[in-house]
Amino acid sequence: MAFEWKDRYKLDIEEIDKQHRRLFDIGARVYDLAVLNDSYDHYDEITQLIVELLDYTEYHFTFEENLLEKYNYGELDKQKHEHEFYVRKIKSISSKDIDADQKQATLEIVDFLSEWISSHILFSDRKYAVYFKENGINV
């Protein structure tokens, strides 16, 4: 299932884990709406949630980048590039995609967003968590 939080995403940095979880919560709400098979058009709700997802994603990325900068993390630029890519992806979701007739397209996008953020946390974010730990940085 798309945007399903798993314990292995935990980095043991309380505030970061909380923010990551929230990203999954919002994403799961988008997914739930997108797969609903009722006769209603959920276009407005989905659009609204995509905006919420974008806002919170930007908030989280900025928070993370500031933290990495503060502790001189060597791969900050790589993080920034990856974050920019993801924000652009969310922004590229057009109203056409979430039209009622475009259900499949919406699901594919949501699936992509979910896969991307999962592997970003598992590989890129985990690296800074290890860096913090190895350097005795408690955030």
66-85 residues in contact with Fe ion (CB under 5 A) are: 79
Closer by beta carbon to Fe ion, 79 or else 118 = 79
| Alpha carbon distance 31, 15 (integer Å) | 24
Closer by beta carbon to Fe ion, 110 or else 125 = 125
Interface with Fe ion by CB under 5 A: which range of 7-15, 49-57, 94-102, 123-131? 123-131
Minimum Å distance from CB 23 to Fe ion? 8
Residue pair 125/38 in contact by the 8 Å Cβ criterion:
no
Q: Which of 68, 118, 125, 129 binds Fe ion (CB under 5 A)?
A: 125
Minimum Å distance from CB 15 to Fe ion? 11
Minimum Å distance from CB 130 to Fe ion? 14
CB burial class (10 A; 0-12, 13-18, 19+) of residue 65?
Answer: middle
**Residue 13 engages Fe ion in binding (rule: CB under 5 A):** no
Torsion of the alpha carbons at 60, 63, 65 and 69, rounded to the nearest 10: -170
Interface with Fe ion by CB under 5 A: which range of 3-11, 33-41, 94-102, 119-127? 119-127
| Alpha carbon distance 42, 20 (integer Å) | 25
Closer by beta carbon to Fe ion, 63 or else 94 = 63
Nearest partner of 13 among 130, 135, 124, 129, judged by Cα: 129
What type of residue sits at position 107? L
